[in-house]
Amino acid sequence: MEIISLKNLTKTYREDSIEVTAVSDITLSFAEGEFTAIVGPSGSGKTTLLNLIGGLDAPTSGEIVVNGTNLARLSSSQLTDFRLWNVGFVFQAYNLIPVLTARENIEFIMHLQNKPVHERRKRASELLQAVGLADRAKSRPSKLSGGQQQRVAVARALAPRPRFILADEPTANLDSHSAENLLEMMEKLNREENITFIFSTHDPRVMKKARRIITLEDGKVLRDEQMHK
């Protein structure tokens, strides 16, 4: 089932008096349960494309439809609600809240959704178990390794049961062992819970596991390949 549709998507920025096109006339769709990597050199438009899909940025022209909702028609507060209930974000820099424990970081978005305490606790415990950090529930980010922090970030993204996860260079700051563990965990969640993952990445390890690879160059789709696994 198609959950994301992009039509003639363009994003242009103005830097001083120069116009820079980060994404140029992209038309793509994504189905439920995909495990897709968006790849390409720095400056090819990967992060911009992810930010557009997630409603963090607005296109200059073109259309983004997610679960039948045209994002251009949403007000700022409606977009915030849309992200809260539909999108899980995993960033390169983890973005955990330093004063909260691992469990509290995972519960945070469910708190924003006004989920009852018992439901938040149960979901956070399940996810800590799923990411192999049940024994670190009370640890703050400063007491966790980079790989552990990124696993908490993935658990936090999954907590509100989003329709899809957008992961921007999620392995960039990790050693090879942590990166491999994280990818195996995301692959397992994709396979067992049919969660859609869309990555932007330079990492060959992510590309190796991806079942679809979209290559960008100068803001355009150069190739869109299904990997037979």
When pLDDT is cut at 50, 70 and 90, the band that residue 65 belongs to is: very high
Q: Are strands 2-15 and 220-226 parallel, antiparallel or unpaired?
A: unpaired
The pLDDT of residue 214 is above 90? yes
As a whole number of angstroms, the distance between CA 145 and CA 55 comes to 30
Compute the radius of gyration of the chain from its Cα atoms: 17
Domain boundaries, the chain: 2-98+164-226
DSSP 185: H
Helix (H, G, I), strand (E, B) or coil at 175: coil
170-201, pLDDT tens digit by residue?
A: 888 778 887 888 888 888 888 888 889 999 99
Given a contact cutoff of 8 angstroms between Cβ atoms, the answer to whether 88 and 153 are in contact is: no
Helix axes 176-193, 146-158, angle to 10 degrees: 20
As a whole number of angstroms, the distance between CA 76 and CA 78 comes to 6
Of 174, 170, 97, which Cα lies nearest the Cα of 140? 97
CATH of 2-98+164-226, one of 3.40.50.300, 3.40.605.10, 3.40.50.20, 3.60.9.10: 3.40.50.300
Q: Which residues contact 202 (CB under 8 A, 6 or more apart)?
A: 39, 42, 169, 172
Q: What is the mean pLDDT of the chain?
A: 90
74-117, pLDDT tens digit by residue?
A: 998 999 998 888 899 888 777 899 999 999 999 998 998 999 99
DSSP 143: G
Name the phi and psi angles at 91, rounded to 5: -105, 160
DSSP for 38-60, please give it: EE-STTSSHHHHHHHHTTSS--S
The pLDDT of residue 35 is above 80? yes
**Residue 202 identity (one-letter amino acid):** H
Given a contact cutoff of 8 angstroms between Cβ atoms, the answer to whether 120 and 113 are in contact is: no
When pLDDT is cut at 50, 70 and 90, the band that residue 43 belongs to is: confident
Residue 5 confidence (pLDDT): 95
The pLDDT of residue 10 is above 80? yes
